[in-house]
Structures are given as structure tokens and as C-alpha cells.
């Protein structure tokens, strides 16, 4: 049944919200396990740091922060949610970890969560729903107007490869090294409404486009659009959906800092958009970032050339430093530099641990420890 | 019956013997491998048929096969054949007990102390109620009432594990059934060792056996388990994790422990359970943590339950003992479900009750324990332990069904999860 789009709810400019999809694993062998409904059913938690919710399969759980004006606020909510999960999972003998994919689980063994929405998704998408047991970070950025939200959706589209490469944390699928830095997005791209938001100038055009999709029977609600970046009218935000769930909440906060300072810079400087041209190279650039991470070569459809992503990211971080300072999230943004300079991202960490252990069970065991470690973003240097 | 069928063949064979010099004498007993194969095929066919047509757990079929073809009914599996097949049953039970021991995660009790409360209440209540029932209502002596309680107080690890594997159950009810089964078994083994001493004290004037036998069992099992676990870890450390070679090392070490335990008259189930616990606790480098038993352990499990079914003393059945056994099972069920309903550690009441239902099975370990105790003083033991043996006989059939019912109702089995969500 089609759901009306509704009014765009106005938010405070550049407020943030972060959603993390996390993996629920057995403490016996660190494979994914059926645990989500048990966990939620017995959860006694007053939602002071945000929500803890079910996701499509029983081996996933989603945490989402409250709307916050600063990245520090996001980090604090994420730490609170992590503590809640730590206490609760300990009582159930379950472990939790980040990462975009579980390195060795067998997707046919996954169980769909009870609920009409999940059941409908399973009926509609069949096995894709089970293969959708992948884990992402979504960052919401508040917009004061619907037109701003559509403009920002288009503008952020160009930076999708940057978010992918910085968050990449899914090199293993089905027990093998995929050679990708982020293999998670390959599971998402199987869905018919995944991809990029088409070139749209303003909210009115978006409403027309959406009602066109509804009339054609393609989409019933905004949740059917699995776009990389999409407006979220009921929250009054633009949602960046391409990041893998990082292995630490500190890294998740740094990605939120990038989203906030980039959005501020874009809205402040309003660079000229070439959405029509970008649409031709978007899929290629996304593939490059997924496959090669920082070593990706990104096509520029305006300058008609390719540029190393690492080079343009270093420039971008430099450009955004002033906005980040103004927003009070400079230290969070700075924490991304080692990933760009030294390939010190989560995908590299996972591969390094695999090279050490030659065993993916041990890799997942260490990712559970990494998520729960209070100073986990520093453990890279020591490992 | 078998002899009557074979007699024409025997006569023909013996007449040929004089002319065909290469012929061996007529085989007086079935070859062990042939027996293994027969037990396997018979158990498999009945188990699979009942599973496919009536939806029953396969274990029930295996036990029924043993019961029907065993000494109590058709007699196709003779008492000698049972004795001959005992090493296979010991190996099967040993491997399953080791697996239960490996899965016992004691640190969970530290993280969720309510679980300790519920498991202690299960253990204490089960022993106390069964002991009182056997002493006061059935009229057994204190020593044999204690033996009855020690044998029947815990759930059946092998049945629980196989039912969980068969239904591919995952979730809190499943995990807690395993935990309570393992802890209950540990408690019943301690009670079993103490009861050995009490029985000696009651029936023998020599106090030495009353002290030495429990120590022999407990320390012997611990030493064998420790040695076998150390050996497995030592060799496995040289091999890639989760490799086939590690599986072989694990199985070989377990079979070594089974063999030594049999040689020294130390209970196999206790030794291998301890070995499993030691493997989990002492494996600091996760050497064998992720190495799983091969699918082939189902083969041995079939043999185990066919033998257990054939070992049940249905020929001694009387209506009185049957009623007493039913009474014991009701008391036991009240103890277990009551304990879990009272305290279950962060699980809603309906699911706690399902855990209580899921730990109802009573099977191979109880039967073997009962025979172990009965063999001390066979003239008294066999009749004194008729009660737990009949309780086990009834539960051989009802136990797997109850365990699976609990798993299904909790929504944790694969089929249940595909159709509905289960109770919250």
C-alpha cells in the first residue's frame, strides 16, 4: 500500500543523528547467531541515548542516537548505547561487533525477524533479504528547508566514494578475501531501487518524481528507496547510507564529523553541481572506492580526467578543517587522516588480523573486543 | 528365535565342512562390524521413517528400534551382542558428553548470576524431591533413594544436543537448555560419586571401598580427562585451526580417554564430560575452540540410542513400577519447571517455563549410571534401580518430544522461525 510522502519536517541546521547496524555473534565460535528478538524482548532501557531496534534478520541489531548538534554529543550517545548493549549482551552470553559484513557466516542460515514489515520484505525480495545481512552506518544531517535537503542530497552524491573508502570494513565474504575494501555494497546493489538519487532541482521535483515512482508501482514509501544519499522528510534530514559500520564507535563519530563539516561547507559555499554529468560516472566511482579504497581512481566528468581518491581526500580534509573547527569537531575529523595517509582503515586492520591468525573466527573475536574497548581507536597503532 | 531360523543353515554348513577344507567353523556370533552396520541401518530406517511420516524426533526412532529388536521383545539383539556393542556406545556417549562439556560456559554464570540461582534451585529441588519421593512414597532405603535421585536428577545431554542439532535451534531458550543440562549433569555426577560410597557403606562391612571407590572414580576421571585434553591441545597446536587434522586429533584423543576409562573401570560419561570442560577452560589460544565434531558423530549416536533402547529392562515391567516411574517423572518435572519459573535470569516467564520443559529428557547417561551402580551389588541393585530405569525408559520416548516442543514453541527452530515468530 502506498504511503504519502508527507511534509518535510524542518530541523535545526546541521544537527546529526547516527544509526549503526551491528552484528550479533555467538561467544562460542563468533559466527552470527539468532539473538535480536531475545535481546529486545528483555531490554529494560529508557532510551536516554537513543533507540535499540530490530533489523531484517535475527543476527542484526540497530542502534540510533538522539538528534545532536555536535559530534561530541553523537560520540557520547554511541558510548551510552554501547554500554547498554555490553551489559545486556553479557547477560545473554552474546557478543556484538562492527564491520560491514560478517566474514564467514552462511546466509541461508539467517532467520528473518518477526514482524509484518520484515515478512513483506522477505516475500518481496526472497533470498536477497537474507543476503542483506550486511551492516552499515547511516548519518543524518539536519536541514532547515526541503529545498536545501534536495540540494544537499545532490551535492553529497559526489562524495559517496570518500565515505565508502573511509568507512570500508568488509573485505571478507563467505570466508574468503573478496579483494574489495567494502564488499557490503555489492549486497545492496542487487536491490532494484538502490543507486543514486536522479538529478532533481528542488523539493517540488522530488515530490513529482516520488509520486511517479508510486504511480508506476515501483515504490510505496520512502523506505523503498535504497539510494546512497536520500532525503528523510519525517526527520527533516539528508541521510548518507553508504558507510560500512566501522569497527569502533570513535570511527563512526569521525565519519559523522566528516558528514557535518562537509555539509556545512557545501551549504556555505554552494559549489556548482553537475548532477547530469555525475550520474554517468557515479556507479564507476562507487565501484572504484569499494574495490580499491584509498587507492581508487575517481573519474571527474567535468575536468574529463581521473584523480587518485587519496589525493582529493587529503585536499578535502584540509578544506573542511575550518568548518570542522567552527563546529567543534576538528579533532574527530583529524582522526581520519591516518586512514587516508597510511591505509590505516578497518579493512586493512581486518586483513592484518587475518594474516596473523589465519583464522576468521579469531578475527571476529577481536572485532568484538575492538568495539567494546574504551580506547579502541588507538589500538591500531599498537597492533 | 534366531537360533531356530539358523539351524537348517548350520546343519548344511556342518555337512559341507568335511568336504570343503577352507570353510571356517559355523560363526557362533555376529562379527562386530556387521553388528555395527545392522544396528545402524535398523535404527536409521525407523528413526528416519518416524521423522518423515510422524514428525517425531529421530532419537525416538532409534530407541524404539533398540527396544523392539532387543532382548525384551523380539530378541534379535541378544544380551551378548549388547555387551559386544558396548564399546561403540561408550565412544558415542563419550563424544557427545565431551561436546556438552566443551559448551559449558561457566563465565556466563558470572555475567548473569540469576542463572546460577536458577541452576542451583533446579539441582537442589530435583534431587530433594526425587529423593523424598523414592524414600517416602516408593519405600526405597535412603542409599537407593539417593542413587535414584543421583541418576535421574539431571537432563540427558546426548538427547538435548541431538534434538537441538536436528531442529537447528538457536536462541536464549536453546542456550539455557544446554547450560542447565550441562550443569545438572555435573551435579548428578558428583552425587553419583558420593552415592557409590553410600551404597558400599550400606552393603559392605569393609569401609575401604566406601571411601576408595568414589575417589577412584572422581580422581581417575579427572586425571584421564586432564591427560587426554592436554594431549589434544598439544598436538592440535601444531596444526591449522579448524583443519580436518584437528578434528582427527580431537576425536582420537576422546577415543583414547574412552579406552583408558574403560580399562580402569572409570565411568566414560564422567571422564569425557570433564575432558570437554578442560578443553574449553585450558584452551587459552583458542586452538580447538572452533573445531567441531564431524557430521559422522550422528552415526555413533544412532548406535548409542539403539543400544540404550535394547538395554531397557521392559521384561521386568510391572504396572506398579510403571506408575511409580510416572510419579517420579511428574515430581521431577515439577522440580525443574518450578525452579526455572522461580528464577531464570533476564528471560520472560513463558520462555523460562519452556527451558524447564526442554530439560526434561532422561536417557543414556541415566541408564548407564544406573547399570554402573547396579553392577556393584547385582543381586540387590537391579531391582532397587528398576524405578530410575523405567523412568528413563518412559522418557526415552517422551523426552526428545518435550525438548523439541520447547524449542519449537520458543520460535528458535529453523522451521518455526520460517513460519512464525514464536512467543515473546
Q: Got the DSSP string for A331-366? A: HHHHTTHHHHHH--SHHHHHHHHHHHHS-HHHHHHH
Mean pLDDT of A312-330: 97
pLDDT at residue A378 in the model: 44
| Residues A289-306 pLDDT 10s | 999 999 999 999 999 999
pLDDT at residue A2 in the model: 64
CA distance to partner chain B, nearest, from residue A352 (Å): 17
- CB atoms A37 and B241 under 8 Å: no
* DSSP per-residue codes, B17-36: HTT-TTPPPPPSS--HHHHH
Closest CB to B346 among A30, A92, A109: A92
Contact list, B420 vs chain A (CB under 8 Å): 114
According to DSSP, the residues that pair with B240 across neighbouring strands are none
Query: pLDDT > 90: what percent of chain B?
Result: 50
The CATH code of the domain at B88-300+320-411 is: 1.20.1530.20
Poorest-confidence range of A292-296, A362-366, B37-41?
B37-41
pLDDT at residue B345 in the model: 66
| Residues B131-187 pLDDT 10s | 999 999 999 999 999 999 999 999 999 899 999 988 999 999 999 999 999 999 999
Mean pLDDT of A117-144: 91
First-to-last C-alpha distance (Å) of chain B: 55
pLDDT at residue A382 in the model: 36
C-alpha span between A241 and B133 (Å, rounded): 64
C-alpha span between A254 and A323 (Å, rounded): 14
Contact list, B118 vs chain A (CB under 8 Å): none
Q: Is the pLDDT of residue B337 over 90?
A: yes
pLDDT at residue B170 in the model: 92
pLDDT at residue A381 in the model: 40
At residue B294 the predicted structure's pLDDT band, cuts being 50, 70 and 90, is: confident
The CATH code of the domain at A16-378 is: 3.30.590.20
Q: Which residue has the higher pLDDT, B415 or B161?
A: B161
Poorest-confidence range of A84-93, A293-302, B51-60?
B51-60
C-alpha span between A133 and A100 (Å, rounded): 9
Chain B residues whose C-beta sits inside 8 Å of any chain A C-beta: 103, 105, 108, 111-112, 168, 170-172, 175, 240-242, 286, 289-290, 345-348, 411-412, 414, 417-418, 420-422, 424
Q: Which residue has the higher pLDDT, A166 or A7?
A: A166
pLDDT at residue B404 in the model: 94
DSSP annotation of A68: B
pLDDT at residue B1 in the model: 61
Give the three cell numbers for residue B355.
527451558
CA distance to partner chain B, nearest, from residue A171 (Å): 21
At residue A348 the predicted structure's pLDDT band, cuts being 50, 70 and 90, is: very high
Q: Is the pLDDT of residue A175 over 50?
A: yes
**Of A308, A275, A295, A306, which Cα lies nearest the Cα of A339?**
A295
C-beta of residue A92 within 8 angstroms of C-beta of residue A35: yes
**Mean model confidence pLDDT for chain A:** 93
Mean pLDDT of B291-298: 80
pLDDT at residue A219 in the model: 87
**Mean model confidence pLDDT for chain B:** 88
Top-confidence range, B198-207, B243-252, B316-325: B243-252
C-alpha span between B338 and B409 (Å, rounded): 18
pLDDT at residue B415 in the model: 62
As to burial, measured by CB atoms within 10 angstroms (0-12 exposed, 13-18 middle, 19+ buried), residue A355 is exposed
Q: Least CA distance to A114: which residue of chain B?
A: B421
Sign for the pseudo-dihedral over CA of B213, B219, B221, B227: negative
C-alpha span between B96 and B248 (Å, rounded): 15
Q: Which residue has the higher pLDDT, B215 or B6?
A: B215
Q: Is the pLDDT of residue A241 over 60?
A: yes
Query: pLDDT > 90: what percent of chain A?
Result: 79
Say how many residues make up chain A: 383
pLDDT at residue A119 in the model: 85
For B352-377, b/e burial (b = at least 16 CB within 10 A) is: bbbbbbbbbbbbbbbbbbbbbbbebe
C-alpha span between B68 and B72 (Å, rounded): 8
Mean pLDDT of A36-44: 90
**Of B303, B274, B317, B344, which Cα lies nearest the Cα of B122?**
B344
Contacts across the A-B interface (CB distance below 8 Å)? 71
Q: Where are the domains of chain B?
A: 30-77, 88-300+320-411
Rounded to a whole number, what is the largest CA-CA distance in chain B?
78
At residue A376 the predicted structure's pLDDT band, cuts being 50, 70 and 90, is: very low
Top-confidence range, B283-297, B347-361, B408-422: B347-361
- CB atoms A33 and B170 under 8 Å: yes
Contact list, B347 vs chain A (CB under 8 Å): 38, 42
As to burial, measured by CB atoms within 10 angstroms (0-12 exposed, 13-18 middle, 19+ buried), residue A22 is buried
Top-confidence range, A265-279, B73-87, B202-216, B332-346: A265-279
Q: Is the pLDDT of residue B421 over 60?
A: no
C-beta of residue B95 within 8 angstroms of C-beta of residue B254: yes
Q: Is the pLDDT of residue A182 over 90?
A: yes
Contact list, A112 vs chain B (CB under 8 Å): 417
pLDDT at residue B423 in the model: 34
pTM for the model stands at 0.89
- Do the bridges between strand A194-195 and strand A226-227 make them parallel or antiparallel, or are there none, so unpaired? parallel
Contact list, A362 vs chain B (CB under 8 Å): 241, 286
Q: Is the pLDDT of residue B327 over 90?
A: yes
Top-confidence range, A212-226, B43-57, B228-242, B306-320: B228-242
pLDDT at residue B417 in the model: 46
pLDDT at residue B234 in the model: 96
Closest CB to A114 among B290, B347, B421: B421
DSSP annotation of B77: S
At residue B126 the predicted structure's pLDDT band, cuts being 50, 70 and 90, is: very high
DSSP annotation of A376: G
C-beta of residue B84 within 8 angstroms of C-beta of residue B32: yes
* DSSP per-residue codes, A6-64: -PPPP--TT-EEEEEEEEEEETTT--B-S-HHHHHHT-----SSEEEEE-SBTTEEEEE
Contact list, A37 vs chain B (CB under 8 Å): 411, 421-422, 424
Q: Is the pLDDT of residue A379 over 70?
A: no
Mean pLDDT of A309-322: 97
pLDDT at residue A144 in the model: 94
As to burial, measured by CB atoms within 10 angstroms (0-12 exposed, 13-18 middle, 19+ buried), residue A60 is buried
Q: Is the pLDDT of residue B84 over 60?
A: yes
Amino acid at each position: 500500500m502506498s504511503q504519502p510522502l508527507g511534509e518535510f519536517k524542518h530541523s535545526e541546521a546541521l544537527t546529526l543523528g547516527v544509526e549503526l547496524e551491528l552484528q550479533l555473534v555467538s561467544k562460542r565460535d563468533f559466527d552470527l547467531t539468532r539473538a535480536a528478538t531475545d535481546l529486545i524482548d528483555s531490554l529494560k532501557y529508557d532510551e536516554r541515548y537513543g533507540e535499540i531496534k530490530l533489523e531484517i534478520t535475527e543476527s542484526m541489531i540497530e542502534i540510533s542516537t538522539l538528534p545532536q548538534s555536535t559530534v561530541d554529543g553523537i560520540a557520547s550517545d554511541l558510548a551510552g548505547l554501547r554500554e547498554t548493549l555490553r551489559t545486556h549482551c553479557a547477560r545473554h552470553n552474546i557478543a556484538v561487533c562492527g564491520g560491514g559484513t560478517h566474514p564467514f557466516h552462511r546466509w541461508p542460515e539467517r532467520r528473518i525477524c518477526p514482524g509484518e514489515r520484515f515478512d513483506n520484505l522477505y516475500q518481496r525480495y526472497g533470498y536477497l533479504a537474507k543476503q542483506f545481512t550486511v551492516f552499515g552506518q547511516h548519518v543524518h544531517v539536519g536541514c532547515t528547508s526541503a529545498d536545501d535537503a534536495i540540494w544537499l542530497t545532490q551535492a553529497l552524491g559526489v562524495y559517496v566514494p570518500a565515505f565508502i573508502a573511509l568507512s570500508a570494513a568488509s573485505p571478507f565474504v563467505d570466508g574468503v578475501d573478496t579483494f574489495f575494501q567494502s564488499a557490503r555494497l555489492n549486497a545492496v546493489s542487487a536491490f532494484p531501487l538502490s543507486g543514486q538519487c536522479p538529478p532533481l532541482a528542488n523539493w517540488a521535483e522530488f515530490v513529482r518524481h516520488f509520486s511517479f515512482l508510486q504511480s508506476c508501482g515501483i515504490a510505496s514509501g520512502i523506505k523503498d528507496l535504497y539510494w546512497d544519499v536520500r532525503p528523510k522528510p519525517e526527520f527533516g534530514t539528508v541521510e548518507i547510507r553508504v558507510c560500512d559500520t566501522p569497527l569502533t564507535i570513535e570511527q563512526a563519530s569521525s565519519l559523522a564529523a566528516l558528514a557535518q563539516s562537509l555539509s556545512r561547507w557545501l551549504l556555505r559555499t554552494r559549489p556548482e553541481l553537475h548532477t547530469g554529468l555525475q550520474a554517468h560516472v557515479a556507479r564507476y566511482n562507487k565501484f572504484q572506492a569499494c574495490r580499491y579504497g584509498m587507492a581508487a581512481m575517481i573519474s571527474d566528468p567535468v575536468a574529463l580526467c581521473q584523480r587518485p581518491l587519496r589525493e582529493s581526500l587529503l585536499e578535502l580534509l584540509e578544506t573542511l578543517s575550518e568548518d570542522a573547527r567552527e563546529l567543534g569537531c576538528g579533532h574527530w575529523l583529524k582522526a581520519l587522516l591516518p586512514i587516508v595517509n597510511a591505509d590505516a582503515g578497518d579493512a586493512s586492520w581486518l586483513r592484518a588480523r587475518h594474516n596473523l591468525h589465519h583464522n576468521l573466527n579469531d578475527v571476529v573475536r577481536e572485532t568484538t573486543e575492538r568495539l567494546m574497548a574504551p580506547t579502541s581507536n588507538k589500538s591500531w597503532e599498537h597492533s | 528365535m534366531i537360533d531356530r531360523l539358523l539351524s537348517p543353515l548350520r546343519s548344511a554348513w556342518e555337512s559341507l565342512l568335511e568336504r570343503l577344507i577352507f570353510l571356517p567353523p559355523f560363526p557362533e556370533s555376529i562379527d562386530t562390524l556387521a553388528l555395527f552396520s545392522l544396528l545402524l541401518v535398523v535404527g536409521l530406517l525407523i528413526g528416519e521413517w518416524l521423522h518423515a511420516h510422524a514428525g517425531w524426533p529421530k532419537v525416538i526412532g532409534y530407541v524404539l528400534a533398540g527396544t523392539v529388536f532387543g532382548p525384551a521383545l523380539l530378541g534379535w539383539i541378544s544380551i551378548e551382542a549388547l555387551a559386544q556393542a558396548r564399546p561403540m556406545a561408550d565412544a558415542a556417549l563419550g563424544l557427545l558428553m565431551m561436546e556438552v562439556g566443551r559448551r559449558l560456559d561457566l563465565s556466563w554464570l558470572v555475567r548473569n548470576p540469576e542463572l546460577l540461582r536458577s541452576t542451583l534451585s533446579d539441582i537442589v529441588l530435583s534431587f530433594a524431591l526425587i529423593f523424598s519421593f523414592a524414600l517416602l512414597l516408593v519405600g526405597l532405603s535412603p542409599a537407593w533413594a539417593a542413587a535414584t535421585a543421583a541418576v535421574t536428577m539431571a537432563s540427558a545431554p546426548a538427547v538435548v544436543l541431538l534434538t537441538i542439532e536436528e531442529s537447528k535451534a538457536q536462541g536464549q531458550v536453546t542456550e539455557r537448555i544446554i547450560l542447565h543440562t550441562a550443569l545438572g549433569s555435573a551435579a548428578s555426577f558428583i552425587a553419583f560419586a558420593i552415592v557409590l560410597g553410600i551404597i558400599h557403606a550400606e552393603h559392605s562391612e569393609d569401609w575401604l571401598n566406601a571411601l576408595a571407590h568414589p575417589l577412584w572414580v572422581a580422581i581417575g576421571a579427572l586425571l584421564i580427562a586432564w591427560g587426554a585434553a592436554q594431549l589434544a591441545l598439544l598436538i592440535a597446536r601444531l596444526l591449522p585451526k579448524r583443519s580436518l587434522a584437528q578434528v582427527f586429533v580431537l576425536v582420537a584423543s576422546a577415543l583414547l580417554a574412552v579406552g583408558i576409562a574403560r580399562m580402569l573401570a572409570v565411568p566414560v560419561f564422567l571422564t569425557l564430560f570433564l575432558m570437554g570442560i578442560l578443553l574449553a577452560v585450558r584452551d587459552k589460544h583458542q586452538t580447538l575452540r572452533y573445531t567441531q565434531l564431524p557430521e559422522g558423530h550422528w552415526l555413533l549416536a544412532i548406535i548409542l540410542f539403539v543400544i540404550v533402547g535394547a538395554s531397557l529392562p521392559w521384561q521386568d515391567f510391572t504396572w506398579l513400577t510403571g506408575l511409580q516411574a510416572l510419579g517420579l517423572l511428574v515430581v521431577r518435572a515439577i522440580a525443574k519447571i518450578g525452579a526455572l519459573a522461580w528464577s531464570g535470569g533476564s528471560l520472560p516467564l513463558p520462555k523460562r517455563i519452556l527451558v524447564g520443559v526442554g530439560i526434561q529428557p532422561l536417557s543414556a547417561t541415566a541408564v548407564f549410571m544406573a547399570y554402573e551402580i547396579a553392577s556393584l551389588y547385582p543381586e540387590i541393585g537391579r531391582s532397587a534401580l528398576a524405578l530410575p530405569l523405567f523412568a528413563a525408559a518412559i522418557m526415552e520416548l517422551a523426552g526428545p518430544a518435550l525438548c523439541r516442543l520447547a524449542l519449537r514453541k520458543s520460535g528458535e527452530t529453523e522451521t518455526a522461525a520460517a513460519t512464525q515468530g514464536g512467543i515473546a
